[in-house]
């Protein structure tokens, strides 16, 4: 095993939220959770962050003694009223779980997709983001909001990011879906680059979910489309947040398929002359935080095959 370069360690530190419950893995809860506990003891545990689980399923977890972190998924809702009622229900589940496990758990991250109807105009978007974040923030939880993908997505993202910009304490963020199990679930490289510039302008952090099983962009036969690479997406994000590069430059990095174009050394990370030093990577990782993946084995096996681990 290679000793990872310092910049690569900083780039990948606690970057992966393990989502074994979700497609395409779709593991039973006990199996996924046992995997997560076993991964904590592996030499690669430094890349691992949280266990992704719906808040409503916290009570189903088996007993454990380890100190663990969780990314909680909200119930969501079909409209604003149901959405806000479900946030309250989710908080009840989280409080009960924390009381049961005392100091053994961290439940400071919450992720939820907003109903499309709540992003129909800026006033409704501002209202639902403010009300939901107030409830969650008072419970020590940072919430990452997702705009439903599909037709009209860009308009929904604009309304969401503008609403996030207005949140006073900024314990909020944007969740970007970067793929799925079908080709139509993958945003284009242009869409990802555009979303990154919107989030950067809003001065809020972002995280990603789905489709980032592999380090570098490539064509995947199983979904018949180009899958985005996590080195591409996070490399572009770090260079964007640290150096203020343009949307076109962000898109070019996301579309890069040659691993040799990404250079890690002891002092920093570089793509075709654009560079961030390790201290900038550390700061940028506060803005582009982590990605959810149903596999921890695939990403690290790829990294070993590429001699990065």
At residue 103, the pLDDT reads: 77
In total, the chain counts a number of residues equal to: 309
At residue 3, the pLDDT reads: 59
208 neighbors 292 (Cβ within 8 angstroms): yes
- Find the radius of gyration of the CA atoms of the chain: 19
Helix (H) or strand (E) holding 288: strand 288-293
At residue 2, the pLDDT reads: 54
At residue 5, the pLDDT reads: 86
At residue 294, the pLDDT reads: 96
What SS3 state is found at 160? helix
Domain ranges of the chain: 14-210+288-294
301 neighbors 47 (Cβ within 8 angstroms): no
| Residue 87 DSSP class | H
Q: What is the pTM of this model?
A: 0.95
Helix (H) or strand (E) holding 274: strand 274-277
Parts of the chain with a pLDDT under 70: 1-3
- CA-CA-CA-CA torsion for 161, 167, 171, 172, nearest 10 degrees? -20
Q: Which fold has domain 14-210+288-294?
A: TIM Barrel (3.20.20)
Residue 297's contacts (CB-CB under 8 Å, 6 or more residues apart) are none
């Amino acid at each position: 095993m290679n000793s990872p370069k310092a910049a690569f360690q900083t780039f990948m530190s606690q970057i992966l939220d393990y989502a074994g419950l979700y497609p395409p893995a779709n593991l039973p809860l006990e199996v996924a959770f046992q995997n997560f506990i076993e991964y904590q003891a592996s030499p690669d545990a430094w890349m691992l962050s949280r266990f992704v689980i719906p808040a409503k399923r916290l009570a189903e977890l088996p007993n454990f003694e380890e100190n663990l972190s969780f990314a909680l998924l909200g119930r969501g809702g079909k409209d604003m009223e149901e959405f806000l009622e479900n946030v309250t229900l989710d908080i009840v589940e989280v409080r009960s779980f924390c009381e049961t496990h005392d100091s053994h758990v961290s439940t400071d991250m919450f992720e939820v997709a907003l109903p499309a109807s709540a992003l129909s105009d800026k006033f409704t978007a501002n209202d639902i983001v403010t009300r939901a974040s107030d409830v969650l923030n008072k419970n020590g939880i940072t919430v990452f909001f997702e705009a439903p993908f599909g037709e009209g997505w860009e308009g929904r993202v604009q309304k969401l990011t503008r609403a996030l910009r207005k949140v006073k304490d900024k314990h909020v963020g944007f969740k970007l879906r970067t793929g799925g199990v079908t080709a139509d679930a993958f945003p284009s490289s242009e869409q990802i680059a555009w979303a990154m510039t919107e989030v950067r302008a809003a001065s809020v952090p972002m995280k990603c979910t789905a489709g980032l099983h592999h380090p570098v962009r490539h064509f995947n036969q199983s979904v018949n489309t180009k899958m985005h690479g996590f080195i591409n997406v996070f490399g572009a994000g770090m260079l964007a947040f640290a150096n203020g590069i343009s949307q076109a430059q962000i898109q070019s990095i996301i579309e890069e398929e040659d691993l040799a174009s990404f250079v890690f050394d002891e002092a920093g990370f570089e793509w075709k002359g654009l560079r961030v030093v390790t201290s900038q990577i550390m700061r940028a990782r506060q803005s582009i935080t982590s990605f959810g993946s149903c596999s921890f084995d695939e990403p690290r096996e790829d990294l070993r095959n590429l001699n990065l681990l």
